[in-house]
């Protein structure tokens, strides 16, 4: 695990946020569940610059409060699902 990934997961633990927490998305009647850890791991496959942007955004969201973290992961999860669905349907 690289340092940016470790930093993201460390932030969650320091804020007493379980990395196994998850968010459910209902897409056309099908429920997709993404854990915070899965979202982090998926974004950590991007470029170094994108990973740093993710880390910075995570830090800002945590600075708000725990609800900020939920909203952050909800938004990041939505982006992952939209990307996956657009690739799946060739859009």
DSSP per-residue string spanning 30-48: EEEEEEHHHHHHHHTTS-H
Is the pLDDT at 91 greater than 60? The verdict is no
> Would you say residue 1 lies in a domain?
no
> Would you say residue 80 lies in a domain?
yes
CA separation for the pair 77, 25 (Å, rounded): 8
Is the pLDDT at 63 greater than 80? The verdict is no
> Would you say residue 8 lies in a domain?
no
> Would you say residue 24 lies in a domain?
no
- Domain containing 73 equals 33-91
> Would you say residue 49 lies in a domain?
yes
Q: Residue 38 has what pLDDT?
A: 95
> Would you say residue 86 lies in a domain?
yes
Number of separate domains in the chain: 1
Mean pLDDT of 74-83: 91
> Would you say residue 25 lies in a domain?
no
Query: Structure pTM?
Result: 0.86
């Amino acid at each position: 695990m690289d340092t940016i990934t470790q930093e993201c997961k460390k932030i969650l633990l320091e804020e007493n946020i379980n990395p196994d927490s998850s968010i459910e998305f209902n897409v056309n009647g099908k429920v997709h569940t993404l854990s915070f850890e899965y979202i982090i791991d998926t974004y950590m496959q991007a470029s170094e610059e994108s990973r740093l942007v993710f880390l910075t955004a995570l830090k800002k969201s945590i600075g708000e409060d725990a609800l900020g973290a939920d909203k952050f992961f909800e938004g990041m999860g939505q982006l992952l699902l939209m990307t996956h669905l657009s690739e799946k349907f060739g859009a």
